[in-house]
Amino acid sequence: MDATQLAIEGRVAEQHRHHKKAQFFWVWGALLVITAIEVYLTYQNMEPKRMLTILMALSLVKAALIIGFFMHLKFEVSMMKWLTMCSVIGCLLLMTYFFFPDAFRILSLGVR
C-alpha cells in the first residue's frame, strides 16, 4: 500500500477506537422503538397506501441507522460512501423499472 492509503487507514482506525458502547446502545434502542412502531402500525385499520408509505419511510430510517453505525459507513472515507450510495440508487432504479411494474399488476387483477 502507498502512503496515502496507510494514512487513510490509520485515520479510520483511530476514529473507530473512540466509539463508546453507549452510542451503539442508543442506536439499538432507536431500532427497537422503530420496530415497535412498525408492528403497531400493522395492526391498525389504515389505508394500505398510507400505511405502506409510513412503513417504507421507517424502514429507510432503520436501514440508514444500521448502515451508518453497525456497518461503520458513517466513519468511512467519502469515496466509500459515494460508491455505496450510488449502488443503492442503482438498485432502486432497477427495482423501479423491473420489479415494481410486475408487483403492481395485482391491482389490475382485482385481488384484494
Model confidence pLDDT, tens digit, residues 28-41: 999 999 999 999 99
**Cα–Cα distance measured from residue 9 to residue 6, given in angstroms and rounded to the nearest whole number:** 5
More confident position, 51 or 73: 51
**Cα–Cα distance measured from residue 34 to residue 54, given in angstroms and rounded to the nearest whole number:** 11
Grid cell for residue 41: 402500525
- Measured in whole angstroms, the distance separating CA 81 from the mean position of its chain's CA atoms is 13
Helices (H) and strands (E) in the chain, counts: 6, 0
112 pLDDT more than 60: no
pLDDT of 99 reads 82
34 contacts: CB under 8 Å, gap ≥ 6: 58, 61, 62
pLDDT of 38 reads 93
Per-residue pLDDT tens over the stretch 4-21: 777 777 776 666 655 677
User: Residue 67 burial by CB count (10 A; 0-12/13-18/19+): exposed, middle or buried?
Assistant: middle
End-to-end, the C-alpha distance of the chain in Å comes to: 58
**Cα–Cα distance measured from residue 2 to residue 13, given in angstroms and rounded to the nearest whole number:** 17
Cβ atoms within 10 A of the Cβ of 72, count?
Answer: 14
pLDDT of 108 reads 76
pLDDT of 14 reads 65
pLDDT of 100 reads 79
